[in-house]
Amino acid sequence: MLTCTISTKSILKRTLRTIPLFLLSQSTTAMSTTTSSPKSNSSNKAALIFLHGLGDTPAGWTSLSSQLPSMQPSLSTSNIEYVFPPADTIPITINGGMTMPGWFDIFDWPIGVGCKNDEDGLKKAVDSINACVVKLEAKGIQRNRIVVGGFSQGGAVALRAVYQQQQHEQESSDEESKESLPFAACVNLSGWLTFEETNGMNDNVPLLWGHGSYDDKVLFDQQSYGVAKLGEMGVKSVEDSSYPVGHGAHPDEMVAFAKFLDQVLFPKDDSCKE
């Protein structure tokens, strides 16, 4: 099971799922990581794009490609392509302007309801997800078979990419049809809401939102606030749960994650059961 240790002694240990606090310059080289079965051409192929948190790299979460299938065999790499894109290394305001891997800048600490957003950084992060989607579609994996998720900062970006990003104008009717497909689902682990209205096109996309009840970095009330606001915006299916942990992933949360993916990507047909 995936576990998380909150440390005040280290910034970029890959076993951590925590936001760095020290005002130190980080030099981290990260490459986008994709895990899939090389000869799988099934039309039912799906994908999970999962974004790491601030100060982390894809290596912090690539074990999902083995851990999730251990809980739900349907999530094997023969059925799912796992994509773990890297954030750029950027200056972070709460880190005194020193650099570390981050999807966007952070201005307030801890991150509570009403925190200031880095709109330019968020838009750029969403563009990174869109680039991953285009590559997956080129492999024959349609948007409605793609789950977008992330932890902390990554979760905030995932929410925006799925529910708030505006549809891009396309040059052909075929591309318009492809673009209009909704995502399969969204997963937000210990992230937060960064927008006030949805695009109205993905309101039926199911969301899993897990959060640590002792989170003192992305404060726990971000979850109740975000879930309520999304409901007001029209998002219809939100599964939210909390766990006795700080800013990190809990083993039970990973079980719920795997179950959620199995249900949205490989729903069981009970019509023949008596």
Catalytically annotated residue among 36, 65, 152, 190: 152
Catalytically annotated residue among 65, 247, 250, 262: 247
Is residue 142 within 8 Å of 178, Cβ to Cβ? yes
> Is 252 annotated in the active site?
no
> Is 247 annotated in the active site?
yes
- First-to-final CA distance of the chain: 35
> Is 221 annotated in the active site?
no
Active site residues: 152, 215, 247
